[in-house]
Amino acid sequence: MPWPRASQRVLIVLAATLLGSAALFGMRAARQPVTAAVPDDPSIEVQLDLNRATAAEFETLPGVGAALAARIESYRTTHGPFQSVDELRKIPGFGEKLVTTLRPLVTVH
């Protein structure tokens, strides 16, 4: 005996709602920023390459927010690849203290 049409419609609407919700949550997860985790073991060095890292990765560094991360990317686009970590001092907002803090966390390849 087939299901009544009203029940079929309810099931179709329910299935479409569930699929739409799954797609929405999947898109939200894809938009989450990528973070670079610094390990608790100081003997393991994790360094971001100034010439390859994204703004989201730069934001994981201490003292670097969205504005400074965007300036790093802009400087790299305008001036080409970084030749040294000290070149960060040419970017507005980077002083000697911040560059000294970041030196063990970033590299140039």
Render pLDDT for 24-52 as a digit per residue (tens, 0 to 9).
666 655 555 555 555 555 554 568 999 99
Output the six-digit token pair for 31.
Answer: 């938009």
- Show me where the domains of the chain are located: 1-32, 48-107
Output the six-digit token pair for 3.
Answer: 């299901």
CA–CA distances in Å: residue 85 to residues 34, 39, 89, 90: 22, 21, 8, 10
Q: Which residue has the tokens 């797609």?
A: 23
Q: What are the 10-residue block averages of pLDDT along the chain, 109 residues in total?
A: 78 77 64 54 70 94 95 95 96 95 94
- Report how far residue 5's alpha carbon sits from residue 48's, in angstroms, rounded to the nearest whole number: 59
Which superfamily is assigned to 48-107 in CATH? Photosystem II 12 kDa extrinsic protein (1.10.150.320)
DSSP-derived letter for residue 85 is G
Q: What is the pTM of this model?
A: 0.58
Output the six-digit token pair for 66.
Answer: 């969205």
